[in-house]
Amino acid sequence: MIPTIQWQTQTGTPVTAAGYTIRPVSQALALRWRGQADQQGFGLIWNRPTAVLVEKDGEVEEHPITDATRLTQLVLFLSTGLVLFLLRRLRHSRR
């Protein structure tokens, strides 16, 4: 059986506070697999907030949500990979 992959952007229930209407937006990745006759299966679901839509006096403004922790981790690992790649190039050029 082929696994089902769903990638969806959804808007949640609006919340009103201090004259603002906030609409949460999230992105969810769902991977599901069911074996023959549903006798076995697995699933993975990853849901992350992406933005909030702020509405006041008929004007809608989007405030993106950045995952600072994930971004920092990515920058650290990518820069390490780049440094290691450059070191390897340097080593090969000296031979």
Partner 1 sequence: MSSIPTEVTLTAVKTPAAGMELLGKLTAVTQPNAVFSPPIQQGEYTVITASEVAMGYGYGFGGGGGVGPAPAPEGKEPTEAGGGGMGGGGGGSAMARPVAAVIIGPKGVRVEPIVDPTKISLAFFTAFAGIVLGIGRLLRQK
- How far, in Å, CA of 91 to CA of 79, rounded? 18
Residue 68 lies near partner 1 (rule: CB under 8 A): yes
Residue 60 lies near partner 1 (rule: CB under 8 A): no
Residue 39 lies near partner 1 (rule: CB under 8 A): yes
Residue 63 lies near partner 1 (rule: CB under 8 A): yes
**Pick from 1, 44, 57, 93: which binds partner 1 (CB under 8 A)?**
44
- How far, in Å, CA of 25 to CA of 22, rounded? 10
- How far, in Å, CA of 92 to CA of 95, rounded? 5
Residue 12 lies near partner 1 (rule: CB under 8 A): yes
Amino acid at 29: L
- How far, in Å, CA of 53 to CA of 58, rounded? 12
User: Taking the chain, what is the end-to-end CA distance rounded to the nearest angstrom?
Assistant: 51
Would you tell me which residues interact with partner 1 (CB under 8 A)?
6, 8, 10-13, 15, 17-18, 20, 22, 24-26, 28, 30, 35, 38-49, 52, 54, 61, 63-70, 72-73, 76-77, 79-80, 83-84, 87-88, 90-91, 94
